[in-house]
Amino acid sequence: MADVSIRRLGKHFGTVKVLKDVSLDIADGQFVVLVGPSGCGKSTLLRTIAGLEEVNSGEIRIADRLVNDVPAKERDIAMVFQSYALYPHMTVSDNMSFSLRLKGVPKGEIKEKVARAAEILDLGHLIDRYPRQLSGGQRQRVAMGRAIVRDPAVFLFDEPLSNLDAKLRVQMRAEIKELHQQLGTTMIYVTHDQVEAMTMADTIVVMRDGVIEQSGSPLELYDRPRNLFVAEFIGSPS
Ligand code: ADP
Ligand code: MG
């Protein structure tokens, strides 16, 4: 588990400024939802935290450690991708253990970690199946399992439910929240869906055009939006 602290983060692609002096403090164990219109910089912010994108200025700290120059693999972070990012030719078990095998983790330990993740996610009976033999929701759980086995200090989610149907989305929101309650790990969750933000977040962070407009609890943002943009964004159904 870990605090995440971001100080005056700047990122540009060519001449386009995508993150403009973004500062954000996330307390250990929080479920933070980063929300904002398409193109405002949510994925870029997440990718800089993960170490998949270099920053041009500012500081990123994870558990008080400055990580600007720490490679992604050494940041103690796991990113959950959409379910279609599973390896199609590997079983559920192999999908989950892949990163641990790459790291050379002993076999016995891998087995334990995969079994634990499978239990948490209720995937035990599906462990030898291939992704094509799973439902959308089951695939999404495997995608989460790949992150869980790594025991990360921070989980990052980038619109993980966007390719699921509406009913499954509602169910998976609850499962992700349950996972958060079980693990107690810091989670940063990106979505452009206000309902998702309102129902899942301890803290909502509203972004617009590379800037954080406001952050606070769902109730705070709903009751006391700082400006019209936040009011309209939070108040309007998706
Ligand atoms: P969001 O996730 O909020 O939709 P992104 O972080 O993906 O937004 O993108 C923010 C802006 O940065 C967009 O204008 C996008 O076109 C631009 N952008 C993102 N990645 C790159 C890249 N690798 N090269 C150039 N521009 C990029
Ligand atoms: Mg995005």
Ligand 1 pocket: which of 9, 12, 13 to mutate (most atoms <8 Å of CB)?
Answer: 13
Decide: 210 in ligand 1 pocket, CB within 6 A.
Answer: no
User: What's the ipTM?
Assistant: 0.98
Q: Is 228 exposed, middle or buried (0-12, 13-18, 19+ CB in 10 A)?
A: exposed
Q: In the numeric block, which tokens belong to residue 77? A: 């972070």
Mean pLDDT of successive 10-residue segments in the chain (238 residues)? 91 97 97 95 96 96 95 92 82 96 95 94 95 92 93 94 87 92 96 92 97 96 94 76
Q: Whose CA is nearest to atom 12 of ligand 1?
A: 18
Give the integer Cα–Cα distance in Å for 2 and 168. 30
Atom of ligand 1 nearest to the CA of 47: 6
Give the integer Cα–Cα distance in Å for 205 and 212. 7
Decide: 234 in ligand 1 pocket, CB within 6 A.
Answer: no
Helix boundaries (H) for the chain: 42-50, 92-103, 107-120, 136-148, 166-183, 194-200, 218-223, 228-235
- Specify the pLDDT at position 165: 87
The Cβ-side half-sphere exposure at 1, using a 13 Å CA radius, reads 13
Residue with tokens 């996610």: 121
In terms of residues, how long is the chain?
Answer: 238
Decide: 11 in ligand 1 pocket, CB within 6 A.
Answer: no
- Specify the pLDDT at position 83: 62
- Tell me the pTM: 0.94
Distance, CA 14 to ligand 1 centroid (Å)? 11
Decide: 185 in ligand 1 pocket, CB within 6 A.
Answer: no
Distance, CA 5 to ligand 1 centroid (Å)? 22
Give the integer Cα–Cα distance in Å for 20 and 198. 25
Q: Facing residues of 16 across strands? A: 13
The Cβ-side half-sphere exposure at 99, using a 13 Å CA radius, reads 20
Decide: 34 in ligand 1 pocket, CB within 6 A.
Answer: no
The Cβ-side half-sphere exposure at 76, using a 13 Å CA radius, reads 15
Q: In the numeric block, which tokens belong to residue 48? A: 């800089």
Q: Whose CA is nearest to atom 16 of ligand 1?
A: 39
Q: In the numeric block, which tokens belong to residue 165? A: 């149907």
